Amino acid sequence: MSVKDCKIIELPKISDPRGNLTFVEGGQHIPFDIKRVYYLYDVPGGAERGAHGHKKLQQLIIAMSGSFDVVLDDGFEKKSFHMNRSYYGLYVSPMMWRDITNVSSGAVCMVLASDYYHEADYYRDYNAFLCDSRGVNK
Protein backbone atom coordinates (compact mmCIF):
# COMPACT_ATOMS: atom_id res chain seq x y z
CA MET A 1 0.00 0.00 0.00
CA SER A 2 1.17 3.49 -0.81
CA VAL A 3 0.12 6.94 0.44
CA LYS A 4 -1.19 7.35 -3.10
CA ASP A 5 -3.98 4.90 -2.18
CA CYS A 6 -5.06 7.26 0.60
CA LYS A 7 -7.23 10.13 -0.47
CA ILE A 8 -9.89 12.62 0.50
CA ILE A 9 -13.37 11.31 -0.27
CA GLU A 10 -16.05 13.94 -0.71
CA LEU A 11 -19.17 12.69 1.06
CA PRO A 12 -22.74 13.55 0.09
CA LYS A 13 -23.89 16.86 1.54
CA ILE A 14 -27.56 17.75 1.66
CA SER A 15 -27.52 21.53 2.02
CA ASP A 16 -30.50 22.98 3.82
CA PRO A 17 -31.20 26.34 5.42
CA ARG A 18 -32.05 24.36 8.58
CA GLY A 19 -28.54 22.90 8.62
CA ASN A 20 -26.55 20.54 6.40
CA LEU A 21 -26.67 16.75 6.47
CA THR A 22 -23.94 14.31 5.48
CA PHE A 23 -24.07 10.54 5.48
CA VAL A 24 -21.66 7.67 4.88
CA GLU A 25 -22.68 4.23 3.66
CA GLY A 26 -20.19 1.41 4.13
CA GLY A 27 -19.28 -0.21 0.82
CA GLN A 28 -20.89 2.67 -1.11
CA HIS A 29 -18.98 5.86 -0.32
CA ILE A 30 -16.04 4.06 1.22
CA PRO A 31 -14.45 0.77 0.13
CA PHE A 32 -15.23 -1.18 3.32
CA ASP A 33 -18.07 -2.12 5.64
CA ILE A 34 -18.07 -0.19 8.92
CA LYS A 35 -17.61 -2.36 12.01
CA ARG A 36 -16.53 0.27 14.52
CA VAL A 37 -16.76 4.01 15.11
CA TYR A 38 -14.55 5.88 17.57
CA TYR A 39 -13.79 9.54 18.13
CA LEU A 40 -11.18 11.72 19.72
CA TYR A 41 -12.35 14.85 21.53
CA ASP A 42 -11.27 17.15 24.39
CA VAL A 43 -7.73 16.89 23.01
CA PRO A 44 -5.55 19.31 25.02
CA GLY A 45 -3.56 21.92 23.06
CA GLY A 46 -0.24 20.56 21.83
CA ALA A 47 -1.19 16.89 22.32
CA GLU A 48 -0.56 14.48 19.47
CA ARG A 49 -2.60 11.38 18.84
CA GLY A 50 -2.10 8.49 16.49
CA ALA A 51 1.59 7.65 16.18
CA HIS A 52 0.80 4.11 15.22
CA GLY A 53 0.12 1.97 12.18
CA HIS A 54 -2.30 -0.80 11.34
CA LYS A 55 -1.63 -4.05 9.54
CA LYS A 56 -5.07 -4.68 8.06
CA LEU A 57 -7.43 -1.98 9.32
CA GLN A 58 -8.98 0.45 6.83
CA GLN A 59 -10.27 3.75 8.17
CA LEU A 60 -12.06 6.91 7.19
CA ILE A 61 -11.10 9.94 9.27
CA ILE A 62 -13.49 12.89 9.46
CA ALA A 63 -13.14 16.26 11.22
CA MET A 64 -16.65 16.46 12.69
CA SER A 65 -15.77 19.80 14.25
CA GLY A 66 -12.66 21.99 14.30
CA SER A 67 -9.54 21.00 12.42
CA PHE A 68 -6.37 18.88 12.58
CA ASP A 69 -3.66 17.49 10.32
CA VAL A 70 -3.23 13.81 9.52
CA VAL A 71 0.26 12.83 8.39
CA LEU A 72 0.37 9.49 6.58
CA ASP A 73 3.60 7.58 6.02
CA ASP A 74 3.83 4.37 3.97
CA GLY A 75 7.47 3.77 4.94
CA PHE A 76 8.78 5.51 1.84
CA GLU A 77 6.73 8.67 1.46
CA LYS A 78 4.80 11.00 3.79
CA LYS A 79 1.76 13.07 2.94
CA SER A 80 -0.11 15.54 5.12
CA PHE A 81 -3.84 16.24 4.93
CA HIS A 82 -5.50 19.20 6.60
CA MET A 83 -8.95 18.15 7.77
CA ASN A 84 -11.48 20.90 8.49
CA ARG A 85 -14.79 19.99 6.80
CA SER A 86 -17.29 17.42 8.03
CA TYR A 87 -18.19 16.36 4.47
CA TYR A 88 -14.62 15.28 3.66
CA GLY A 89 -13.28 11.93 4.82
CA LEU A 90 -9.68 10.78 4.57
CA TYR A 91 -9.43 7.15 3.47
CA VAL A 92 -6.50 5.45 5.20
CA SER A 93 -5.42 2.11 3.71
CA PRO A 94 -3.75 -0.70 5.68
CA MET A 95 0.01 -0.46 6.36
CA MET A 96 0.05 3.28 6.96
CA TRP A 97 1.76 4.99 9.89
CA ARG A 98 -0.31 7.97 10.96
CA ASP A 99 0.12 10.99 13.17
CA ILE A 100 -2.64 13.42 14.11
CA THR A 101 -1.27 16.88 14.91
CA ASN A 102 -2.29 20.55 15.18
CA VAL A 103 -5.63 19.63 16.74
CA SER A 104 -7.68 22.81 17.16
CA SER A 105 -9.48 23.50 20.38
CA GLY A 106 -12.90 21.82 20.40
CA ALA A 107 -12.02 19.52 17.47
CA VAL A 108 -13.72 16.16 17.16
CA CYS A 109 -11.99 13.50 15.05
CA MET A 110 -14.29 10.66 14.11
CA VAL A 111 -12.90 7.44 12.67
CA LEU A 112 -14.96 4.82 10.83
CA ALA A 113 -13.10 1.53 10.92
CA SER A 114 -13.34 -1.73 8.98
CA ASP A 115 -12.86 -3.96 12.02
CA TYR A 116 -13.22 -4.21 15.77
CA TYR A 117 -10.41 -3.09 18.07
CA HIS A 118 -7.58 -5.63 17.99
CA GLU A 119 -4.32 -4.63 19.63
CA ALA A 120 -2.61 -7.31 17.51
CA ASP A 121 -3.39 -5.25 14.39
CA TYR A 122 -1.31 -2.29 15.67
CA TYR A 123 2.26 -1.26 15.00
CA ARG A 124 3.27 0.76 18.05
CA ASP A 125 6.95 0.76 17.13
CA TYR A 126 7.93 2.87 14.10
CA ASN A 127 11.01 0.79 13.30
CA ALA A 128 8.99 -2.43 13.27
CA PHE A 129 6.50 -0.70 10.94
CA LEU A 130 9.31 0.48 8.65
CA CYS A 131 10.82 -2.96 8.52
CA ASP A 132 7.53 -4.59 7.46
CA SER A 133 6.32 -1.78 5.21
CA ARG A 134 9.50 -1.78 3.20
CA GLY A 135 8.81 -5.41 2.45
CA VAL A 136 5.11 -4.83 1.70
CA ASN A 137 4.82 -1.31 0.20
CA LYS A 138 6.54 -2.04 -3.06
Active site residues: 52
Build a one-symbol-per-residue string for 3-22: x at contacts with ligand TYD by CB under 6 A, - elsewhere.
--------------------
- The number of residues that bind ligand TYD (CB under 6 A) is 7
Element (H, E) at 21: strand 21-22
Q: What angle do CA 63, 102, 5 make, to 5 degrees?
A: 60
Q: Which of 7, 13, 49, 79 binds ligand TYD (CB under 6 A)?
A: 49
Of the listed pieces 4-12, 26-34, 45-53, 59-67, which binds ligand TYD according to CB under 6 A? 45-53
Query: Is residue 39 classed as helix, strand or coil in its secondary structure?
Result: strand
Query: C-alpha distances in angstroms, 7 versus 57, 59, 71, 85, 90?
Result: 16, 11, 12, 14, 6
Residue type, 125: D
Build a one-symbol-per-residue string for 24-43: x at contacts with ligand TYD by CB under 6 A, - elsewhere.
------------x-x-----
Query: Residues in the site for ligand TYD, rule: CB under 6 A?
Result: 36, 38, 49-52, 117
